[in-house]
Structure 1
Amino acid sequence: MAIDHAAAPLLTGPRAGEILATALATTEVELESWKVDSVNARPGAETSVGYDVVAGGERLYLVASTVELSDEQRAAAKAVRLASDEGEVHVWRHPADPHLPGLADACIPETLAPRLSAATGRSITIESLDMMVMRPMRRAVLRVRTVAEDGRRNWYVKVVRPERAEAMLARHRMCELAPLALDAGDGIVVVQEAHGIPMTRALHRPDGSDPAAIDPQMLLAAMDRLPDEATALERRPPVPDRVAQYARMAVTEGLPEERVEALERRITAVLAAAPEHPTVATHGDLHAANIYLDDAMAPTRVEALIDLDTLGPGRRIDDCACMVAHMMVLPQLDAEGYRGVPPVAARMLEAFGDQFGIDELRARVSANILSLVAGSEDASVAAAWLETAESVIEPVPAS
C-alpha cells in the first residue's frame, strides 16, 4: 500500500535526503546536496515531489512519488522502489516518467525536432526549448522556438498520458477558437502559438497606466462560440462542486481551520439554494492567461482560447466565476503591474451577476479562489487569497 496524501511532510522534510541517498546508492552514486523544487499532492491519490540534486559531481533532477507502479512501469522509468513500515516510495530521474513515455523525447531538442518535423510536414530546427509546467505522471508543457522554411514560430509541446492525447486533439479540432494542434506520438501534442495578445498583457501595466477595458459581453460572445458537440464529452466536476476537497487541502497547508470551514459552509449553503442551470459547452478553466484578444490596448474581440483540455459540458456561470476569481487574485502576484485590475474585475462580477445571479456568482467565485488558496506554495499569498475569498462572498456593505 502506497503512502497517502499525508506523505508530503515526509517527502519534503529532512528524511527526504535519506530517501534520495538510498535510491542513488543503488547505482553507486553518492548524494551531495538536494533541495525541493516542486510538490504535487493530489487528495486520494499520489504525492510526488521534484528535487534539484547534485550527486556524483553531476546536477540531476529526481522525482520521488508514493505512486504504485507495476514491474513494467518501474523498469521503463528505471525507478527505484523503496519500502518501509510507512509505505512505498518510488524514485526516478527526470526526464524518465512511468506514465509519460513521450517526456524524454520532448525534453531534448535532438529528439523533439524530428517529431515536430514529422507532425508539421516541415523540416524544423529548434532554437530554444523551455519547460513551463511539470506535473509528474500527469502532464508537462514546454515552449519551443522553431525555425523552418516558412520562418520562425513558437509551439507549445504538451506531454500527456498516450491514452489522453486523442481527446486533447479532438477538443482542438472541434473548437473554432482553438489554435492548431498536431499529434507527435507517444502522448506528445504540439500546439501552435495562438493568434492575438494574451489577455494578461491587456491587464498588466507595469508603467502604472490603466489596464485595457475588457467588455464582459466580449467574453460571453466567445463562450457562445464554444462547440455544441462538447456537451457530449465527459463531464468534469467544476471547482465549486469540489469545494470540500479544496477546503481540506487549504487546512492541510496550514490555513486557519475555523476560517476555512466557515467559508466552505457559506459557499455550500448558497449553492444548495441555487437554481438549476442548463448544460452548455464550457471551457472549464477560463481565465485571462487562456484568452487571446485582438489588441492589448483597446480589445474588441476574443481571437483564440487555449488550454482546452477541460472543454466539455457544464454551467456557463462556472466559466464566468473562474474568470472573475483569477482576475481578483492577480494583484497578489504583482501589486504594481496589476494594480488597475480590481475595478475591471468588479465590473465583470457585476455584469456576470446581472445575467446569472450575483449571490450565486459570488459563491462560485469564492470557491474558485479557495481552490487557488489550496494550491499556493506561498503562505503570505495564500493568506491574502483566503481574505479575498471571504470578502467576495460576504462583501462589505456600501456606506
Structure 2
Amino acid sequence: MTTGDEAATVLASEAAGEMLATAVATAHQTLDSWRLDSVHARPGAETSATYDVTVSGERQYLVASTVSLTDEERAAVKAVRLESDLGVVQVWRHPADPRLPGLPDACVPAALTGRLARVGIADAAVEQLEMLVLRPMRRAVLRANVSSHGLSGRIYIKVLRPDAARQVLERHQACGMAPKAYDAGDGIVVIEGATGQPLTEYLYRPDAPRYLDPAVLVEALDSIGEGAMEMARRRSAADLIDTYADAAIKSGADAARVDAVRASVHAVVEADGAPGALVPTHGDFHAANVFVEAGDETRVAALIDLDTLGPGYRVDDLACMLAHLHTLPTFDESGYRDVPRLIRDATEDFSRRVPAHQLRARAAAVLISLMGGSDDAARRDRWLATAERLVGDSHG
C-alpha cells in the first residue's frame, strides 16, 4: 500500500475527525462535530470525501482529498494542506472547488441569477435550488425551479471543468432530442427540463397496463446526429468487464459466479470482433435517461444525460437499455408489473437489429457494472442471476 492509499483510508475512518480538527484549527476555529457524508475514489487517482461539520458553532460542508494541488489552486480555494507519514491530504470548504470554478456561483441563487441573465434568461427568480450530485473536482448537478420572461419551469445546472462543459454543449447540439442547453461560463451548463416524464416513471404503478413499442426506443437513438462521431468514444461495460467484475466481487458478490460471467462475456466479445459499424450512440441509454409522452401511441420526447454521447456500437446502447429494464422489477415487483412484457418484446426487437448473442452478453456486462454500486446484497444477487441467464442464452 502506498502512502497515498494510506492517506485515503483515513478519510473514511474515525481518524478523519482529528484531521478535520487540525484543518479548521489553522483558521483559529474549533471542530464541534462532524459526520462523513460520502467518499469518492477514482481508481489510480485521488480519493475525496465530504463531511457535514459544525465549526465554532457554524454548520459547514468540508471536502478532503488526496489530490495534488498547485500553490495557485490551493490559494484559490483556501485549502489547508496536511502532511503526515501516511501522505498528503487537502481540506477546503464547499462550494469552493479547485477544478470547478463555476461551482460557487451555481450554488447561490443570487449568483446563479446573474449567470442566467448572461444567456438571455432575464429577471429570473431561482427557487428550490437543490444539489443532486457532487463529485469534488469532477462535476456537480443541481436542480432548480425558475420563473422568468424567457424560461419557466425546472432547469438543471451542470458544473464541470470548463473543457468538459464545452464537450457537453457540443453533444447537446448533436442530438435532435436533447433539451436546450446554455453556456453560462466557467464550466456552468444550464439545461432546460425535458418534455414528458422519465420512462422509469411512466412504467411505474400504472392505473392501466402500460405498453411501449421497443421500436420507438431505437428511433430515438436515430435522432443522434453525425456530429457525435466527432466526440471521444466511451468504452462500454463489455470493454471494462474486468474492472466491473472486480468491483462486484469487492462489493460482496460471489467471486466464482462473477468470474464465470466475466469469462462468458470475454468469450463472446472476443470471438466476434467488432459487432457492427461504429455509429452515433448515447453511451448511457437507459430508462431514466429517456423521457416519453403518452398518447394514442407513446413516443419518446427527449433524451437526457448526453455526457457520454459519441461513436460506438448500437448493440451497446440496446444492451444498456435491456439490462436496466431487467433491474426495475428488483426495486418493486408489483410497481413494475408490466416491465417483464417490455423486456420480452425489447429482447425480440433488438435481437432482429443486432447480433442476439452479443446483445445478451453485453447486457450481462452492464448488470455486472451496476453491482459494485449497490449496497443491497439481495438485489445484487438477482442481477447476477439475470446476468448468468443472459450469458447462458448467448451461448445457446
Provide the rounded CA distance (Å) in 2 between the counterparts of 1:37 and 1:391.
37
> Is the contact between residue 172 and residue 181 of structure 2 (CA under 8 Å) also seen in structure 1?
yes
CA contact (8 A) 2:214 2:342 kept: no
Q: 1:397 to 1:284 in 2, by over 3 A?
A: closer
Match of 1:19 in 2: 19
SS in 1 for 2:43: coil
User: Displacement of 1:244 after TM fit?
Assistant: 0.8
Q: Give the conservation status (yes or no) of the 8 Å contact 1:321–1:361.
A: yes
Q: Which amino acid aligns with 2:161?
A: R
Give 1:225's aligned residue. Answer: 223
Q: For residue 97 of structure 1, what is the aligned residue in structure 2?
A: 97
Q: Give secondary structure in 2 for the equivalent of 1:260.
A: helix
SS at 1:273's partner residue? helix
Answer whether contact 1:243 1:371 (CA < 8 A) is retained: yes
Q: Which moved more, 1:138-147 or 1:52-61?
A: 52-61
Name structure 2 gaps, 5 residues minimum. Answer: none
- Normalised to the residue count of structure 1, the TM-score between the two structures is 0.92
**1:356 correspondence with 2:354:** yes
Match of 1:107 in 2: 107
* 1:298 to partner: Cα distance: 5.5
Question: Which amino acid in 2 is paired with 1:284?
Answer: G
What residue number does 1:304 align with?
A: 302
Contact 1:53–1:61 (CA under 8 A) maintained in structure 2:
yes
How far does residue 232 in structure 1 lie from its aligned partner after superposition?
2.1
Residue 287 (structure 1) aligned with residue 286 (structure 2): yes
Supply the distance in 2 between the matched residues of 1:397 and 1:29 (Cα, whole angstroms): 63
- The letter of the residue matching 2:323 is A
2:251 touches 2:371 (CA, 8 Å); kept in 1? no
Once residues 31 and 284 of structure 1 are traced to their aligned partners in structure 2, the CA distance between those partners, rounded to angstroms, is: 43
Structure 1 CA distance for aligned equivalents of residues 339 and 199 of structure 2: 12
Which residue is 1:341 aligned to? 339
- Report the residue type matching 1:88 in the other structure: V
Q: Partners in 2 of 1:217 and 1:90 — Cα distance?
A: 50
Distance, in Å, in 2 between the alignment partners of 1:32 and 1:17 is 10
Q: Deviations over 1:359-385 (max 9, x none)?
A: 211111111111111222444443443
Alpha carbons of 1:121 and 1:397: their partners in 2 closer, same or farther (altered >3 Å)?
Answer: closer
Shift, 1:170, TM fit: 1.3
Percent of paired sites with the same residue: 49
| Cα-to-partner distance string for 1:112-131 (whole Å, 9 max, x where unaligned) | 01111221242211122111
Residues 20/250 of structure 1: CA separation in 2 closer, same or farther (3 Å cut)? farther
Higher mean alpha-carbon deviation, 131-140 vs 15-24, is at 15-24
Report the AA paired with residue 270 of structure 2. A
The AA in structure 1 aligned to 2:316 is D
Shift of 1:2: 6.7
- Give the root-mean-square deviation of aligned CA atoms: 2.3
Q: Which deviates more from structure 2 when the two are superposed, residues 90-99 or residues 377-386?
A: 377-386
Q: Residues 335 and 65 (structure 1 numbering): CA distance in 2 closer, same or farther, change over 3 Å?
A: farther
Q: 5+ residue gaps in structure 1? A: none
* Superposition TM-score, scaled by structure 2 size: 0.92
Comparing 346-355 with 315-324, greater Cα deviation is found at: 346-355
Asked if the contact 1:230/1:312 (under 8 Å) is kept, the reply is: yes
> 3-state DSSP class of the match of 2:45?
coil
**Could you tell me how far apart the structure 2 residues matched to 1:31 and 1:49 are?**
17
Runs of 4+ in 1 over 6 A off after TM superposition: none
Give the direction of change, closer, same or farther, for the CA distance of 1:150–1:169 in structure 2 (3 Å limit): closer
- Per the TM alignment, residue 57 of structure 1 is displaced from its structure 2 partner at its CA by 1.9
Cα distance change of structure 1 residues 19 and 349 upon mapping to structure 2, 3 Å threshold: farther
The alignment status of 1:168 with 2:168, answered yes or no, reads: yes
Q: What is the CA deviation profile of residues 32-66 of structure 1, one whole-angstrom value per residue up to 9, with x for unaligned ones?
A: 33222222222222222222222322222222222
Per the TM alignment, residue 101 of structure 1 is displaced from its structure 2 partner at its CA by: 0.8
